[in-house]
């Protein structure tokens, strides 16, 4: 899990990878380049369907205290499904609950809240819409090796600032796309500007250009690494552009999301179904000396 003390608060999103997670992703990237491990990943016509649970956690039943409306939640799941449809994922909203709790609404008792509210297994997406989350628009947890009923299992999920839902009052960030971005992390993706470097490993995705810093707004033609190939991926969901600027994932992000979902979440808690998956899991474990 991501210790709260390590959450990067300098960006509007609070999700930041550990060293261990970065090194594991390097192993995954190497594996993806190996032609013998080439797999066909789900496309729009045959999506992976993910059980999804919404938890509204507000300080009161006033809209200003985080009590988002049913219409906003309906619009939010519609946005999520529309944006992930081209990448072979769909989200089936299995349940919505509403809790009035001042501490939980400002994210000051995260684990208590999640132990009480989390639903489904490790392949189920839990989203907490909260009144305040440390000044961030959202944060989420990367997929990893998680045991049943452990703290890491409960932490898994995405916290979303209530005002970022469609029609919310987070100016420039109220089309519901914060959730699209955060779910990208839940599927294992890093920020496109990860590392803030023009020559580092960046986001460990080879078809997103190098990017020195997060994008703000929608500056068409931005090129923070002029000596590296390509313009900044300002329309990429994993940058930090305005909602209206978000448009796409790259083919390799698409592949990575399915690879990570299949490796860590799809068969969680079940016996591995095929030899190849068992082998893959072993490989990942070997490359990932993480304390889980
Ligand atoms: Zn983020």
Q: Which of 182, 247, 248, 267 is catalytic?
A: 182
Which pLDDT band, with edges at 50, 70 and 90, does 178 fall under?
Answer: very high
Examine the domain organization and report whether 168 and 197 are in the same domain: no
Q: Are 239 and 191 in contact (CB under 8 A)?
A: yes
Examine the domain organization and report whether 171 and 203 are in the same domain: no
- Rounded Cα gap, residues 248 and 204, in angstroms: 17
- Look at residue 39 in the predicted model and tell me its pLDDT: 64
Cα torsion for 61, 67, 71, 77, to the nearest 10°? Answer: -150
Examine the domain organization and report whether 54 and 176 are in the same domain: yes
Structure pTM?
Answer: 0.88
Domain total in the chain: 2
- Look at residue 290 in the predicted model and tell me its pLDDT: 32
Residue pLDDT, tens place only, 223-234: 999 999 999 999
Within a domain: 114 = yes
Examine the domain organization and report whether 177 and 207 are in the same domain: no
Q: Which residue has the higher pLDDT, 278 or 132?
A: 132
Within a domain: 117 = yes
Of 189, 221, 240, the last residue of a domain is 189
The mean per-residue pLDDT over the stretch 83-99 comes to 97
The mean per-residue pLDDT over the stretch 205-231 comes to 96
DSSP state string for 227-292: TSSS---TTBTTS---GGG--B--HHHHHHHHHHIIIIITTTTS---SHHHHHHHHHHHHH-----
Residue pLDDT, tens place only, 231-250: 999 999 999 999 999 999 99
DSSP 204: S
Within a domain: 124 = yes
Q: Are 158 and 139 in contact (CB under 8 A)?
A: yes
- Look at residue 270 in the predicted model and tell me its pLDDT: 67
Which pLDDT band, with edges at 50, 70 and 90, does 288 fall under?
Answer: very low
Of 154, 172, 189, the last residue of a domain is 189
Query: Which pair of structure tokens corresponds to residue 206?
Result: 């080879």
CATH code of the domain covering residue 54: 3.40.390.10
Q: How far is the CA of 27 from the centre of ligand 1 (A)?
A: 21
- Rounded Cα gap, residues 170 and 74, in angstroms: 18
Examine the domain organization and report whether 94 and 208 are in the same domain: no
Q: Which domain holds residue 66?
A: 42-189
Query: Which pair of structure tokens corresponds to residue 127?
Result: 């989203």
- Look at residue 182 in the predicted model and tell me its pLDDT: 97
Mean pLDDT (the chain) is 88
The mean per-residue pLDDT over the stretch 56-76 comes to 97
Examine the domain organization and report whether 52 and 181 are in the same domain: yes
Examine the domain organization and report whether 110 and 99 are in the same domain: yes
Of 161, 189, 217, the last residue of a domain is 189
pLDDT at position 115 over 70 = yes
Within a domain: 152 = yes
Examine the domain organization and report whether 184 and 68 are in the same domain: yes
Q: How far is the CA of 216 from the centre of ligand 1 (A)?
A: 13
The mean per-residue pLDDT over the stretch 106-132 comes to 97
Q: How far is the CA of 239 from the centre of ligand 1 (A)?
A: 8
Examine the domain organization and report whether 172 and 199 are in the same domain: no
Which pLDDT band, with edges at 50, 70 and 90, does 287 fall under?
Answer: very low
pLDDT at position 10 over 80 = no
pLDDT above 90 as % of the chain: 78
Examine the domain organization and report whether 199 and 128 are in the same domain: no
The mean per-residue pLDDT over the stretch 265-272 comes to 73
pLDDT at position 292 over 60 = no
Examine the domain organization and report whether 73 and 52 are in the same domain: yes
Within a domain: 207 = yes
Examine the domain organization and report whether 142 and 199 are in the same domain: no
Residue 182 annotated in active site? yes
Q: How far is the CA of 63 from the centre of ligand 1 (A)?
A: 25
- Look at residue 35 in the predicted model and tell me its pLDDT: 63
The mean per-residue pLDDT over the stretch 214-225 comes to 96
Q: Which residue has the higher pLDDT, 8 or 200?
A: 200
- Look at residue 281 in the predicted model and tell me its pLDDT: 39
- Look at residue 37 in the predicted model and tell me its pLDDT: 59
Within a domain: 69 = yes
Within a domain: 163 = yes
Within a domain: 33 = no
The mean per-residue pLDDT over the stretch 243-265 comes to 95
Which pLDDT band, with edges at 50, 70 and 90, does 278 fall under?
Answer: very low
Q: How far is the CA of 290 from the centre of ligand 1 (A)?
A: 22
Contacts of 118 (CB under 8 A, 6+ apart): 53, 126, 153, 154, 156, 157
- Look at residue 148 in the predicted model and tell me its pLDDT: 86
């Amino acid at each position: 899990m991501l210790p709260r003390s390590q959450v990067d608060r300098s960006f509007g999103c609070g999700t930041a990878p550990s060293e261990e997670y970065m090194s594991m992703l390097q192993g995954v990237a190497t594996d993806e380049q190996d032609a013998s491990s080439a797999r066909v990943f789900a496309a729009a016509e045959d999506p992976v369907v993910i059980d999804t649970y919404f938890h509204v956690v507000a300080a009161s039943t006033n809209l200003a205290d985080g009590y988002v409306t049913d219409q906003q939640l309906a619009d939010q799941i519609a946005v999520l499904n529309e944006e992930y449809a081209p990448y072979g994922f769909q989200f089936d909203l299995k349940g919505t609950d509403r809790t009035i709790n001042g501490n939980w609404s400002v994210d000051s008792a995260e684990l208590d809240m999640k132990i009480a509210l989390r639903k489904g297994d490790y392949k189920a997406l839990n989203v907490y819409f909260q009144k305040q989350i440390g000044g961030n628009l959202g944060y989420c947890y990367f997929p990893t090796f998680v045991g049943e009923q452990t703290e890491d299992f409960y932490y898994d999920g995405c916290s979303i600032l209530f005002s970022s839902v469609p029609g919310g009052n987070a100016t420039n960030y109220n089309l519901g796309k914060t959730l699209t971005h955060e779910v990208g992390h839940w599927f294992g993706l890093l920020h496109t500007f990860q590392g803030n470097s023009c020559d580092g490993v960046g986001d460990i995705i080879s078809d997103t250009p190098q990017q020195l810093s997060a994008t703000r707004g929608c500056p068409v033609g931005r090129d923070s690494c002029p000596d590296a190939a390509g313009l900044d991926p300002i329309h990429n969901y994993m940058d930090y552009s305005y909602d209206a600027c978000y448009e796409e994932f790259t083919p390799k992000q698409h592949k990575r999301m399915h690879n990570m979902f299949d490796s860590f979440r799809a068969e969680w808690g079940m016996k591995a179904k095929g030899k190849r998956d068992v082998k893959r899991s072993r490989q990942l474990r070997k490359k990932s000396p993480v304390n889980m």
